Structure 1
Amino acid sequence: MGSSEEKVAAVIMVGGPTKGTRFRPLSFNTPEPLFPLAGQPMIHHPISACKQIPNLAGIYLIGFYEEREFALYVSSISNELKVPVRYLKEDKPHGSAGALYYFRNTVMEDNPSHILLLNFDVCCSFPLPDMLEAHKRYGAMGTMLVIKVSAESANLFGELVADPSTKELLHYTEKPETFVSDLINCGVYIFTPAIFTAIQDVSTHRDDRANVSRVSSIEASQSMSRTFPIDFVRLDQDILSPLAGKRQLYTYETLDFWEQIKTPGMLLKSSGIYLAQYRITSPNLLASGDGTRNATITGDVYVHPSARVHPTAKIGPNVSISANVRVGAGVRLINCIILDDVEIMENAVVINSIVGWKSSIGKWSRVQANGDYNAKLGITILGEAVTVEDEVVVINSIVLPNKTLNVSVQDEIIL
């Protein structure tokens, strides 16, 4: 224990502002990785999971947001976890594998023997210690976390075939048009430093193809379909697919929960999953109350210590209440995320919704939706500083920031 060859470096890919359009209007002023999920920034969950790894040398966040947007969070989480956390800004998009390679010297500063690579927009239990042990047993270059899903949904992800006994990755294809397997890629990996050689080989091979005329017909057709810069390397198509079946990559299957957080609806669903997980990992974060001195709490609920909630309010299940929120008498909150500085006045109801920062919901108003996490208007979203006046009903709608609603709306996007 403690020797340099046993160290692990963790890398989390956080993307950039061009990727955040799917979270509008919630991502206008807040980077997607810092959006509150079960009372913590979304990226906090994979970062906390990395802390389970023994001899963790450091955590690196790679993306192309401006550094100032992550400076405060990186400083606070480093102090909280007592582990160095750094944000590394790409000069341009390099692809998921190319970005790792671009910062290889920084990632390898402490000579880690293994590199943990995660996507930030994954909600799961992150069984990293068990996965690392399996990776060491396999003795190969890389191990990827996988899970079985329904055959109908598998083509939304990277599908793969693994040897049922050895767990070797035999075949990998990203979002295939025809069904390949119900086993999919979870976006969590452990590699040895040999991954850098594999990435470099892709760039070298691409450079060779650009400079010599001797190219096979298959390679020619592929190069004509789409050409990438030499230093743009994708982890899935350029690394996983070509190395499948070559005893370089193995799989570790999780039987626990897993979701990909690509929409606001999945934010709300994932918040509920993490709140339920708190019962096992962090019960101290869950609120309690029986309606006497404190509000009535049903199910899994997070309430920030600075929030003021009236004792007659009824909260839960699956509710996350952020800093400086004020919840009035008789308010009912079910399956919702309430962000900083929101005021919810007497007898208002919020169901299946996300209420943006500094918004206000008037007396006897209702903000609700049908709760279909996959539908565009399946949850109601109020952007920042939206005012819903008294006795107004908002159903299955998205409201952009700084709007005032004095009439009821349903199934609308208020621009």
Structure 2
Amino acid sequence: MCSSEERVVAVIMVGGPTKGTRFRPLSLNIPKPLFPLAGQPMVHHPISACKRIPNLAQIYLVGFYEEREFALYVSSISNELKVPVRYLREDKPHGSAGGLYNFRDLIMEDNPSHIFLLNCDVCCSFPLPEMLEAHRTYGGMGTILVIKVSAELASQFGELVADPDTNELLHYTEKPETFVSDRINCGVYVFTPEIFTAIQDVSSQRKDRANLRRVSSFEALQSATRSLPTDFVRLDQDILSPLAGKKQLYTYETMDFWEQIKTPGMSLKCSGLYLAQFRSTSPNLLAGGDGLKSATIVGDVYIHPSAKVHPTAKIGPNVSISANARIGPGARLICCIILDDVEVMLSFIQLSGGSLPLGDGPVSRQVVYPAGGDYNAKLGVTILGEAVAVEDEVVVVNSIVLPNKTLNVSVQEEIIL
């Protein structure tokens, strides 16, 4: 049990505009962390999960975006959750652990007993209170959220081995070339403040090694060129791997869903996972309809209160419709994300298999065919950028069209730059 005096802070790593290029073109006009999944910004889901942590004092967002890009959202979510949310901009890359250490003085202002660290681009149920309870029982410096995946997928992530009885982390390796384990790192952690000492030790060791090099040695100079900066510390290679097997780190396995949001196709899959989760956590966010005075709703659907949906439209499953969107008579929307101010007007329009129109402007007289459900495929979805015009009778299949383009011929499995 936690003491009523103990306080907890959460840090969410949101990356920056130079990262996440695989998520383009969805991130061309909006920061990736603010792209909507199930009607809420991507970063909103981990933030909402943090709200459930006992004695939460503060939430920090750390990234490389300009502060103005997050100012409005940070103000809004702070008022909504009644928990202070603050954006901290990194001046240069410090690594996943170095970025945390760079803001240690601010993070420690509330004298927290525990610090949660979450990556923004993961989609899961975020069992944070359960993690914290397990972490207190283990008594170590940190606890990592892990999940079991297929052996084929495991090599794409950090693989780890844990003691089956104590859950102590025994071995950790990042994206190994050969199979190590079917348990992987989910990118969600809870630490005691001792994590800062561990990060500082890595920096100090680097400085000591640098001072021992002979400047006159050509070989040493070559080595120094390849070495990392002393203040650049990676959480996986520099902290998790060396501390494995030293009774400092433990694991908490989730049996629920987990995905990493790296590509446009994964955004659609994760939006569906969050919509399904709303059934138990936030049923008030899911739309309903009878097909008479309101649109027919099939499965899990989110519709923003300001959106206008014609009663003859049929929506779902896995559809999220954002603010001020207009869905016209007879429209059939399946498995898609409709962003702000998009207008779907004609009755024979079908946006299916993962069509994500971006920005404002009408989507006119087009058919977007199903993508076959391969969310990881490079062209596994159809994406229409902001102000894209698709002329009459044009068919778009499994293609990505960047903003401000006009399509007057059909395209299939192409990227239109």
The TM-score, its normalising length taken from structure 2, stands at: 0.95
Q: CA RMSD in A?
A: 1.8
**Offset of residue 29 of structure 1:** 1.6
- 1:391 alignment partner AA: E
Partner of 1:191: 191
Partner of 1:334: 334
Partner of 1:264: 264
Q: Gaps spanning 5+ residues in structure 1: where?
A: 215-219
**1:41 to 1:380, Cα distance in 2 relative to 1, 3 A:** same
Q: Would the aligned equivalents of 2:20 and 2:262 in 1 still touch at CA under 8 Å?
A: no
Deviations 1:219-265 (A, max 9, x none): x9x96794110000000000000000000000000000000001001
Indicate yes or no: 2:352 matched with 1:351. yes
Partner of 2:202: 202
Alignment of 1:28-43 (within 5 A): 28-43=28-43
CA distance in 2, matches of 1:309, 1:389: 23
Task: Find the residue that maps to 1:274 and give its secondary structure.
Answer: helix
Deviations 1:66-119 (A, max 9, x none): 100000000000000000000000110100100100100000101000000000
Partner of 1:287: 287
Alignment of 1:245-264 (within 5 A): 245-264=245-264
Partner of 2:117: 117
Q: Would the aligned equivalents of 1:366 and 1:392 in 2 still touch at CA under 8 Å?
A: no
Partner of 2:142: 142
Q: Gaps spanning 5+ residues in structure 2: where?
A: 215-219
**Offset of residue 26 of structure 1:** 1.3
Task: Find the residue that maps to 2:245 and give its secondary structure.
Answer: coil
Q: Would the aligned equivalents of 1:20 and 1:31 in 2 still touch at CA under 8 Å?
A: no
**Offset of residue 406 of structure 1:** 2.5
Partner of 1:217: none
Out of 379, 386, 389, the residue aligned to residue 387 of structure 1 is 389
CA distance in 1, matches of 2:50, 2:93: 25
CA distance in 2, matches of 1:406, 1:230: 54
Task: Find the residue that maps to 1:153 and give its secondary structure.
Answer: helix
Indicate yes or no: 2:413 matched with 1:411. yes
CA distance in 2, matches of 1:123, 1:112: 26
Indicate yes or no: 2:404 matched with 1:397. no
- 1:398 alignment partner AA: I
- Higher mean Cα deviation, 100-109 or 369-378? 369-378
CA distance in 2, matches of 1:126, 1:391: 44
**1:364 to 1:212, Cα distance in 2 relative to 1, 3 A:** closer
Q: Kindly, what percent of the aligned residue pairs are identical?
A: 78
Alignment of 1:56-71 (within 5 A): 56-71=56-71
Deviations 1:251-280 (A, max 9, x none): 000000000001001000000000000001
Alignment of 1:94-105 (within 5 A): 94-105=94-105
**Offset of residue 382 of structure 1:** 0.5
**1:364 to 1:206, Cα distance in 2 relative to 1, 3 A:** closer
Q: Would the aligned equivalents of 2:366 and 2:396 in 1 still touch at CA under 8 Å?
A: no
Deviations 1:154-199 (A, max 9, x none): 0000000000000000000000000000000000000000000000
Q: Would the aligned equivalents of 2:39 and 2:304 in 1 still touch at CA under 8 Å?
A: yes
CA distance in 2, matches of 1:335, 1:226: 46
Q: Would the aligned equivalents of 2:59 and 2:83 in 1 still touch at CA under 8 Å?
A: yes
Q: Would the aligned equivalents of 1:368 and 1:394 in 2 still touch at CA under 8 Å?
A: no
- Higher mean Cα deviation, 64-73 or 353-362? 353-362
Q: Would the aligned equivalents of 1:5 and 1:111 in 2 still touch at CA under 8 Å?
A: no
Deviations 1:100-151 (A, max 9, x none): 0010000010100000000000100001111100000011100000000000
- 2:130 alignment partner AA: D
- 1:375 alignment partner AA: A
**Offset of residue 371 of structure 1:** 2.7
- 2:400 alignment partner AA: I
CA distance in 1, matches of 2:238, 2:38: 35
Task: Find the residue that maps to 2:356 and give its secondary structure.
Answer: strand
CA distance in 2, matches of 1:372, 1:393: 20
Q: Would the aligned equivalents of 1:4 and 1:110 in 2 still touch at CA under 8 Å?
A: no
Q: Would the aligned equivalents of 2:159 and 2:172 in 1 still touch at CA under 8 Å?
A: yes
CA distance in 1, matches of 2:344, 2:370: 14
Alignment of 1:144-163 (within 5 A): 144-163=144-163
Displaced runs of 4 or more, over 6 A: 1-4
**1:49 to 1:223, Cα distance in 2 relative to 1, 3 A:** farther
CA distance in 2, matches of 1:381, 1:371: 14
**Offset of residue 21 of structure 1:** 1.5
- Higher mean Cα deviation, 81-90 or 21-30? 21-30
CA distance in 1, matches of 2:303, 2:390: 22
- 2:36 alignment partner AA: P
CA distance in 1, matches of 2:71, 2:154: 37
CA distance in 1, matches of 2:365, 2:328: 9
- 2:91 alignment partner AA: D
CA distance in 2, matches of 1:207, 1:224: 11
- Higher mean Cα deviation, 224-233 or 137-146? 224-233
Partner of 1:211: 211
- 1:181 alignment partner AA: S
Partner of 1:363: 365
**1:383 to 1:209, Cα distance in 2 relative to 1, 3 A:** same
Q: Would the aligned equivalents of 2:390 and 2:408 in 1 still touch at CA under 8 Å?
A: yes
CA distance in 2, matches of 1:3, 1:143: 19
CA distance in 1, matches of 2:242, 2:137: 23
- 1:12 alignment partner AA: I
**Offset of residue 391 of structure 1:** 2.6
**Offset of residue 410 of structure 1:** 1.2
**Offset of residue 384 of structure 1:** 1.0
Task: Find the residue that maps to 2:323 and give its secondary structure.
Answer: coil
Deviations 1:3-26 (A, max 9, x none): 675100000001110013212111
CA distance in 2, matches of 1:305, 1:345: 19
CA distance in 1, matches of 2:85, 2:408: 46
CA distance in 2, matches of 1:364, 1:197: 58
